[in-house]
Structure 1
Amino acid sequence: MPVRIQTEDFDLSVELKKLRAGDARIGAVAAFVGTVRDRNDGSEVAAMTLEHYPGMTEKSLEEIIEKAKARWDIYDVLIIHRVGPLQIEDQIVLTAVTSAHRGEAFAACEYVMDYLKTLAPFWKKEETPEGARWVDARLSDDEALKKWQ
C-alpha cells in the first residue's frame, strides 16, 4: 500500500527495503523522515497529537502520489504518516520515492512533502508550558508549495 496512516512507529530500514524489493530498475531512493521537535514558533513543545480525516486523508495522499508520478519519471512512492499522541523525537512521517536516477527521486520526494504539509487533512495540537494549542498552517509551507505550480 503506498499510503499508510497509523499510530504505531515505523522502521525506516525495513520500509525502504520493502519498497526496493525485487525492482532492479531502481538506482535511487530518496526519503524524508519528519520528527517531533522540542520547539515551535518560539515555544517549548512537550508533546503533540496529530488528527486526520479518515478516508479523506488517504485519498488526498494518493492524489499527491499520482501527481508526482505524472510529473517525474519515478517508479514508486511510499507515505507513512502517524496520528495520535507523539513525544519529542518520535517519527511522524516517512516519504520515500524510487526512480532510476536521484534527480527525479529528490524532486518528487520534496514535492510530495510540500503538498502533504499544505493540502493533506491533518491537524496538529501541541502541548506547551502555556497549554495546548492547535498549530496553524505556516506561510513558509505555502511558499514552498508555490514553486511547484
Structure 2
Amino acid sequence: MILVQQQDFDHAHQYEALRSNAKSDGAIVTFTGLVRDFNIDGSVSGLVIEHYPGMTEKALEDICSQARERWELGEIRIIHRIGQMGASEQIVFVGVTSKHRKNAFEACEFIMDYLKTSAPFWKQEASDDGLKWVEAKSSDQQAAQRWKA
C-alpha cells in the first residue's frame, strides 16, 4: 500500500494493518520519520513538502518492486505526507513484513534510503529566515550508494 497525503497517520493503526496481513511472516519492521526542529543552518520551525502527483506514486511502486526483487517480503506500506508540517510532526511511515528479521530490516532501510535521495519530493524548511529548499545530504547519498553495489 502506498499513500501520499496531507493528513497525519496513526502509527499504531498502520502497524496493526501490517500485522493482520502478515500471514506467516515472523518479522515486522517500521520506521517513522519526523520533522526535525534543527538543521546544519540552525533551527527549523516546519517543513513544506511538494510532489508531482502520479509520478510520485509510480516511483514509490518501483522502489517496492525493487525491494521485492532483493528480499523475500510480505507486506510493504509507505505513507508520505505532503504540504505544510510543524516541527516534530510525522512525515513518513515505512513498514515491511518478512519471514525473517534481516530481510525486513534491510528492505525498510533500502526504501528509506531511496525516499531520502531519489523519490520525487521537494522539501522546503521554514525558519526565522524564511523558506529554504533542502537537498539530499552527502551522507544520504552515500547510504543509498551501498545498494547499487
TM-score normalised over the length of structure 2? 0.96
3-state SS of 1:64 partner: helix
- Which residue number corresponds to residue 101 of structure 1? 100
Cα shift at 1:138? 1.1
- Determine if contact 2:21/2:75 at 8 Å carries over to the other structure: no
1:125-136 aligned at under 5 Å gives the runs 125-136=124-135
Q: What residue is the counterpart of 2:121 in the other structure?
A: 122
Shift of 1:125: 0.7
Partner residue in 1 for 2:140: 141
Structure 1: gaps (5+ residues): none
Q: For 2:33 and 2:53, how far apart are their aligned partners in 1?
A: 21
1:20 Cα shift? 2.0
Distance 1:91 1:147, change over 3 A: same
CA 1:23–1:48: 2 relative to 1, 3 Å: closer
Aligned residue identity for 1:61:
L
What is the RMSD computed on CA atoms of the aligned residues? 0.9
Identity of aligned residues (%): 46
Give, in whole Å, the separation in 1 of the partners of 2:21 and 2:109. Answer: 25
TM-score, normalised to structure 1, is 0.96
The alpha carbon displacement at 1:22 in A equals 4.4
Residues of 1 paired with 2:142 and 2:21: CA distance? 38
Deviates more, 1:102-111 or 1:136-145: 136-145
Could you tell me how far apart the structure 2 residues matched to 1:87 and 1:57 are?
22
